[in-house]
Amino acid sequence: MIAENLISSAVLPLQTSDTGEESLAVMEDFNVRHLPIVNNRQLLGLVSEDDILVHNVHEPIGSYQLSLIKPYVKKSDHLYEVMRLLAEHQLTVIPVVDEEGDYLGMVSLEDVLNYFAKTAAFSETGSIIVLEFQARGYSLAEIARLVEAENASILSTFVTSDPDSSVVEVTLKINRQDTHSILNAFKRFGYEIKASFNEEEYLESLKERYDALMSYLSV
């Protein structure tokens, strides 16, 4: 998945003639805290809600000094680069430009979350297993072999590590509800199981808590 495929057509960019007040209204309408400023197809910068609030909201945003000059991604940049810049600059939208630097549109944080929500890793039911071990012992091929030996598949993996530690944490989404045999296989091969979650049981537990809360509120 690349940036070009995630461009949102719902939100239009701002123009230098738009006032701070008008810009805040657009941000509120679309539940974002940043918007690109575009002159024809030229990306001039990205204005934030904070930028507007420290200026006169009745003045055009073209007169503002921006804290975020021009963060952007190219249309061919991978989703991971989009996510990196959104996180690095704490953005709610990121502009997308073509190879010549002309503005094409923007990708919102909501667009990224919606994309992930529709993938099999999130939409397909299964179970979550979290493994923890020394980085030097990490082998995704070995982990996948153990899972597949139990007639299951890995839908997604998420690896986290601390720069100050040699420990790696791997979160697996498995396409099965019953993971007892998989957990036993990991234990036999010396993997430390930090946590495991059955999505069906977890959702049932949430429903029970929700029903109990609704019953309590109706008393």
Which CATH architecture does the domain made up of 123-209 adopt?
2-Layer Sandwich (3.30)
Is there a contact between 198 and 126 (Cβ–Cβ < 8 Å)? no
Report domain extents, the chain: 3-116, 123-209
pTM: 0.67
Which CATH architecture does the domain made up of 3-116 adopt?
Roll (3.10)
3-state helix, strand, coil in the chain (%, to 5): 40, 30, 30
Q: Cα(198)–Cα(88) distance, rounded to whole angstroms?
A: 33
Task: Identify which of 1, 14, 10, 2 has the alpha carbon closest to the alpha carbon of residue 103.
Answer: 14
pLDDT in tens, the chain (219 residues): 899 999 987 888 999 999 999 999 999 999 999 999 999 899 999 999 999 999 999 999 999 888 877 899 999 999 989 999 999 999 999 999 999 999 999 999 988 888 877 765 666 778 889 998 887 777 889 999 999 999 999 988 888 877 777 888 898 999 888 899 999 999 998 889 998 887 665 556 556 666 676 676 554
